[in-house]
Structure 1
Amino acid sequence: MHQFSMPEVPPPEDLLSLEDLIRFVLGKPDLEQKVKQGFNKVLANEVPIEVRPVNPLQFSREVTTEPKRMFWVRARGHIGEGNMKLHVCVAAYISDYSFLGTTMMSYPAKRVKMMASLDHAMWFHNTFRADEWMLYEVDSPWAGGSRGLVQGRLWRRDGVLAASCCQEGLIRLTAPKDGSKL
């Protein structure tokens, strides 16, 4: 048996939750109203998973970065050990979290009008608990022609690869204000 090595990252206990990071940004006095509304909308949604970004700038639309991100994730609440099918269902939900959006990390000035999954596949390699911290490593090796490809690896905390996933999606951008179609 072989597998990639899990990336070395800080443990989730040393990182801020996505909600805490949003509250920090909302506390900035010079924040545009449109941005405030967007962040408040995110906070109003009750997401059933807890997310702790390894690099918070990877979740910012203001910074151009390589289309890769990592975050610790787990289900909110206790699921238990008895029902692996439920853990698999939660992992499927997790696998789609900010997955296709990773394709746009290299293009912060572009605005997405619509995204839709064309296909999404998962492979489960080892047992895991979705209510315990797992590292989700996501990257986009290619995007073009109104499509994007992303792949992800879901790591157990002990470094065992729990699942791999891949998705291709349709991406439609908002037309530029100058009317240009380039």
Structure 2
Amino acid sequence: MSSPQALEDEQGGGDPPRDLRSVLVTSVLNLELLDEDLFRGRHYWVPSNQRLFGGQIVGQALVAAAKSVTEDVHVHSLHCYFVRKGDPKVPVLYQVERTRTGVSFSVRSVKAVQHGRPIFICQASFQKAQPSPVQHQFSMPTVPPPEELLGHEALINQYLRDPNLQEKYRVGLNRIAAREVPIEIKLVNLPTLSQLQSMEPKQMFWVRARGYIGEGDMKMHCCVAAYISDYAFLGTALLPHQLQHKVHFMVSLDHSMWFHAPFRADHWMLYECESPWAGGSRGLVHGRLWRRDGVLAMSCAQEGVIRVKPRDSKL
């Protein structure tokens, strides 16, 4: 595993100011210990659909699991199911079961509970670092660096300055701009209006946590990446259909992640997303998170329920 300084150099540095601590560390992923292997998490950002953000639940569950293992093991995979709608009005309790503690691998089961019922279940596997002569990875796509792209806020402001923008879109963009989302995003290859009609179910964007996390605990960077991984992910399956249909209901069913190499979640990383299939009111999405130096840091997959209605429907 790379040293913190070597990793920082490889990823291109660019630390945020140290006094601007990431809210993901100070608040969102800072769980309250209630008893042994029992934690309480609170909410920071709730999407407009008034459901708990899935990335928050995944990230908090991984924090709880990571607190039950020793410092010399790190998460390499997790597999989750969302089983009930989360209530944004009450905290979430996380119950950790120490399923197995082995010499090289350890497994933890986490159940997220509200109102006495599970809303989410997760299995996380941790491994001690082990060298291996068997190594390979795909190649990172060639894209413009984040410094050459507009940020989310700047992009919205650019649209809002357009005098020909329809009022219904202006209202929606203002709502998006008002959200206090704790991550930064820069879209790659922003489509034109004509390209929207024939989009592939693929997208890429640079992403990082807002604020400073530091080289510190790799476990926390993995938890932050778990939070980030769910943002705009399932929407990839809608890209070819967005002009014909509008979302009536969309929610994650499951979420899986595999961690390959150390990374800094407060440095820019390229998130490559693609949806190989949609049907049966479900969509499947695959994702890869790349460090700036071309190292594949993480892979993930998600399936979700997608119900739409025609754009001209009055229902």
On whether the aligned pair clears a TM of 0.5, the verdict is yes
1:37-48 superposed matches below 5 A: 37-48=171-182
Equivalent of 1:70, from 172, 187, 204?
204
Cα RMSD after superposing both structures: 2.1
Q: Distance in 2 between matches of 1:17 and 1:129?
A: 19
Q: Could you say which residue in structure 1 is the equivalent of 2:255?
A: 120
- 8 Å Cα contact 1:148/1:170 also seen in 2: yes
Q: Distance in 1 between matches of 2:193 and 2:312?
A: 25
Aligned length: 180
> In the alignment, residue 167 of structure 1 is paired with which amino acid?
Q
Q: Distance in 2 between matches of 1:66 and 1:21?
A: 21
Deviations 1:109-155 (A, max 9, x none): 21011111110000000000000010000000000110000000000
Matched, 1:80 2:214: yes
- 8 Å Cα contact 1:152/1:165 also seen in 2: yes
> In the alignment, residue 168 of structure 2 is paired with which amino acid?
K
Post-superposition offset of 1:101: 0.4
Q: Show structure 1 runs of 5+ residues with no match.
A: none
Post-superposition offset of 1:45: 0.3
Given the two structures, how large is their TM-score scaled by the length of structure 2? 0.54
Post-superposition offset of 1:32: 1.2
Matched, 1:2 2:136: yes
> Structure 1 residues 88-97 or 118-127, which shifts more?
88-97
Q: Show structure 2 runs of 5+ residues with no match.
A: 1-134
- 8 Å Cα contact 2:288/2:296 also seen in 1: yes
SS in 2 for 1:19: helix
SS in 2 for 1:170: strand
Q: Distance in 2 between matches of 1:59 and 1:178?
A: 22
Matched, 1:152 2:287: yes
- 8 Å Cα contact 2:286/2:301 also seen in 1: yes
- 8 Å Cα contact 2:146/2:268 also seen in 1: yes
Matched, 1:111 2:250: no
Q: Distance in 1 between matches of 2:266 and 2:289?
A: 13
Given the two structures, how large is their TM-score scaled by the length of structure 1? 0.93
Post-superposition offset of 1:17: 0.5
